[in-house]
Amino acid sequence: MTSSASSSPLWIFGYGSLIWRADFAFVEQRPAYIRDFSRRFWQGSSDHRGMPGAPGRVVTLIEDLEACCAGMAYRIDPKLTSTVLAGLDHREQGGYDQLQLPIHFSPTEVVTGLTYYANPRNSSFLGEAPVDSIARQIVDSTGPSGPNSEYVLELDSALREINRVLAQDTDSHVAAIATAVRQLLSTAIP
């Protein structure tokens, strides 16, 4: 994990919990997207949405030429860059590294920023599984940050609004898992 500080404004791109739980200081937030990555529930979480030995599932980015992944971009006050990055490095320590990349607000408005990316070589990576198995694991998982199902449902709802603003299709992977999670929750025996 690396930290970087700079005197120019830093943009951070969130595509998972950073969309709907931005617990850091920012001066501006804007719906945005990145190219050539898909969002997938392929990263294990033992520190936020699961426990050691019983990980939940959270999203990471998978390289996918021509794909487009919508999220939220945050502009950070240059005076607070080090503080914000230190907090995010700590929050995202379960397998995520910083990745610099272009962040698009529209086809013609692009800034360089950073995101947190869990590459498939990290020890918490779980990888692909059928939608039903991912949903089952999520419904059965909870961790210090709360139920894994909350993560999915908050993300699905935030993405629907972002994609509406960006006039893009909703994320079909997240939507399919959210539908399966809702189904399992509605049939769960109390």
Of 97 and 140, nearer to ligand SIN (C-beta) is 97
Tokens 């930290």 correspond to what residue? 3
Residues engaged in binding ligand SIN (CB under 6 A): 14-18, 58-59, 92, 115-116
Least distance CB 17 / ligand SIN (angstroms): 4
Least distance CB 77 / ligand SIN (angstroms): 19
3-state secondary structure of 176: helix
96 CB-near residues (< 8 Å, 6+ apart): 1, 43, 60, 116, 117, 118, 122
User: Torsions phi, psi of 171, nearest 5?
Assistant: -80, 110
Tokens 């794909």 correspond to what residue? 67
User: Torsions phi, psi of 139, nearest 5?
Assistant: -65, -30
Q: Which residue is nearest to ligand SIN (CB)?
A: 16
3-state secondary structure of 187: helix
Of 32 and 59, nearer to ligand SIN (C-beta) is 59
Least distance CB 152 / ligand SIN (angstroms): 11
The CA distance from 136 to 51, in Å, is: 16
Of 16 and 55, nearer to ligand SIN (C-beta) is 16
User: Catalytic annotation on 92?
Assistant: yes
Least distance CB 63 / ligand SIN (angstroms): 16
Residue tagged active-site, from 92, 109, 128, 150 = 92
The CA distance from 146 to 66, in Å, is: 34
Of 80 and 101, nearer to ligand SIN (C-beta) is 101
The CA distance from 37 to 116, in Å, is: 13
